[in-house]
């Protein structure tokens, strides 16, 4: 499954959450957060920051190891 990047960005815009703010929370560079949102990377810290912010998990196309954590 491919990450629903446009839906994620729309969700972020509705809640006025910036890529920079999420990157700071995750302790990563803005570029890493952006690349993860646009499905060019699979940075687990970035994905966890999105989950913690309330982003719908179904849009994130989580790696297998993160899916098992979400199911628990």
Per residue of the chain (72 residues), give pLDDT as tens. Answer: 799 999 999 999 999 999 999 999 999 999 999 999 999 999 999 999 999 999 999 999 999 898 876 655
pLDDT given for residue 29 in this prediction: 98
Task: Show the tokens assigned to 14.
Answer: 């509705």
Categorise residue 54: left if φ over 0, alpha if ψ from -120 to 50, beta otherwise: left
What values do phi and psi take at 61, rounded to 5?
Answer: 45, 60
CATH architecture of 5-60: Orthogonal Bundle (1.10)
Residues of the chain by 3-state class (helix, strand, coil), percent to 5? 65, 0, 35
pLDDT given for residue 71 in this prediction: 58
Residue whose C-alpha is closest to residue 50's, from 4, 2, 1: 4
pTM: 0.91
What are the structural domain ranges in the chain?
5-60
């Amino acid at each position: 499954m491919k990450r629903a990047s446009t839906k994620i960005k729309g969700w972020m815009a509705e809640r006025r959450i910036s890529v920079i703010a999420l990157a700071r929370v995750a302790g990563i560079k803005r570029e890493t957060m952006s690349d993860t949102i646009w499905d060019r990377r699979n940075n687990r810290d970035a994905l966890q920051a999105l989950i913690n912010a309330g982003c719908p998990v179904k849009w994130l196309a989580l790696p297998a190891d993160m899916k098992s954590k979400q199911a628990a």
